Amino acid sequence: MRIPGADQAIGNLIKWSAKDEWTPYLDQVFADHFDFIKEQFEITGEDLVDLLGDAFSMVYGVVLEDFFAARFGEEGELNVVDDYLKRRGWREKVPARRYLEALRGSVLSLYEVVDLAPGHSMTVRNLILGGDPVTVEEKLGSESAARWDRIAGRLVTVNNKPYFTGGLLLFPQRVASEVLSAFDDMTKRLRTKLRREAKKQGEPAEIDDHDVRVMILDTMAPCLFTQAWLIDTLDRAFAPIPEIRNTDGDEIVFSEVRFPIKGDEAKVAAVLDGIVGFERDEPDASRWTWHDRGSPSQRMSQNRQEGLTYRSENEAGRISLGNAEIAGNALILTTNSRERAERARDLLACHLGALAGSPLTSHQDLEKMLEKRPGSTPTELDLPPEAAEQVLHTYLDDHYRRTLDDPIPLLDGKAPRQAVKTKKGRAQVVDWLKQLENSEFRRAAGQGHKPYDTAWMWRELKIREPR
Q: Which of 132, 153, 173 is the last residue of a domain?
A: 173
Q: Measured between alpha carbons, how far is 171 from 435 in angstroms, rounded to an integer? A: 12
Residues 67 and 155 in one domain: yes
pLDDT at 450 over 80: no
Residues 280 and 406 in one domain: no
Are the C-beta atoms of 128 and 96 separated by less than 8 Å? no
Q: Is residue 203 in a domain?
A: no
pLDDT in tens, 205-248: 677 888 888 888 888 788 899 999 999 999 988 877 666 777 77
For the ranges 9-13, 240-244, 307-311, 428-432, the lowest mean pLDDT is seen at 307-311
- pLDDT bracket for residue 391 (50, 70, 90): low
Are the C-beta atoms of 163 and 3 separated by less than 8 Å? yes
Residues 393 and 351 in one domain: no
pLDDT at 385 over 90: no
Q: Is residue 330 in a domain?
A: yes
Which residues is 158 bridged to in the sheet? 161
- The confidence score (pLDDT) of residue 392 equals 65
- The confidence score (pLDDT) of residue 330 equals 92
Which residues form the domain of 288?
244-372
For the ranges 326-335, 402-411, 454-463, the lowest mean pLDDT is seen at 402-411
Residues 14 and 81 in one domain: yes
Percent of the chain with pLDDT over 90: 38
pLDDT at 74 over 80: yes
Give residue 25's identity as a one-letter amino acid code.
Answer: Y
Are the C-beta atoms of 146 and 434 separated by less than 8 Å? no
Q: Cα-Cα-Cα-Cα dihedral of 447, 448, 450, 451, to 10°?
A: 40
For the ranges 176-180, 288-292, 311-315, the lowest mean pLDDT is seen at 311-315
Which of 398, 400, 396, 432 is closest to 413 using CA atoms?
A: 432
- The confidence score (pLDDT) of residue 441 equals 81
- The confidence score (pLDDT) of residue 298 equals 45
Are the C-beta atoms of 415 and 404 separated by less than 8 Å? yes
Dmax (CA) for the chain in angstroms is 100
pLDDT at 84 over 90: yes
Residues 368 and 403 in one domain: no
Residues 367 and 390 in one domain: no
Total domains present in the chain? 3
Q: Measured between alpha carbons, how far is 278 from 289 in angstroms, rounded to an integer? A: 6
pLDDT in tens, 107-120: 999 999 999 888 88
- pLDDT bracket for residue 195 (50, 70, 90): confident
Residues 338 and 401 in one domain: no
3-state secondary structure the chain: CCCCCHHHHHHHHHHHHCCCCCHHHHHHHHHHHHHHHHHHHCCCHHHHHHHHHHHHHHHHHHHHHHHHHCCECCCCCECHHHHHHHHHHHHCCHHHHHHHHHHHCCCEEEEEEEEEECCCEEEEEECCCCCCCEEEECHHHHHHCCCCCEEEEEEEEECCEEEECCCCEEECHHHHHHHHHHHHHHHHHHHHHHHHHHHHCCCCCCCCHHHHHHHHHHHCHHHHHHHHHHHHHHHHHHCCCCCEECCCCCECEEEEEEEEECCCHHHHHHHHHHCCCEEECCCCCCEEEEEECCCHHHHHHHCCCCCEECCCECCCCCEEEEEEEEECCEEEEEECCHHHHHHHHHHHHHHHHHHECCCEEEEEEHHHHHHHCCCCCCCCCCCCHHHHHHHHHHHHHHHHHHHCCCCEHHHCCECHHHHCCCHHHHHHHHHHHHHHHHHHHHHHHHHCCCCCCCHHHHHHCCCCCCC
- Over residues 312-332, mean pLDDT: 76
pLDDT in tens, 40-68: 999 999 999 999 988 899 999 999 999 99
pLDDT at 18 over 90: yes
Residues 50 and 164 in one domain: yes
Q: Measured between alpha carbons, how far is 251 from 465 in angstroms, rounded to an integer? A: 41
Q: Is residue 403 in a domain?
A: yes
- Over residues 83-89, mean pLDDT: 93
- pLDDT bracket for residue 164 (50, 70, 90): very high
- Over residues 253-260, mean pLDDT: 89
Residues 160 and 263 in one domain: no
- The confidence score (pLDDT) of residue 373 equals 46
- pLDDT bracket for residue 293 (50, 70, 90): low
Give residue 268's identity as a one-letter amino acid code.
Answer: V
Residues 38 and 113 in one domain: yes
Q: Which of 329, 347, 372 is the last residue of a domain?
A: 372
Which residues is 319 bridged to in the sheet? 292, 313
- The confidence score (pLDDT) of residue 155 equals 94
- pLDDT bracket for residue 71 (50, 70, 90): very high
Provide the mean pLDDT of the chain: 83
Residues 359 and 428 in one domain: no
More confident residue, 311 or 253: 253
Give residue 166's identity as a one-letter amino acid code.
Answer: G
Handedness of CA 456, 457, 461, 463 (dihedral sign): negative
Residues 30 and 95 in one domain: yes
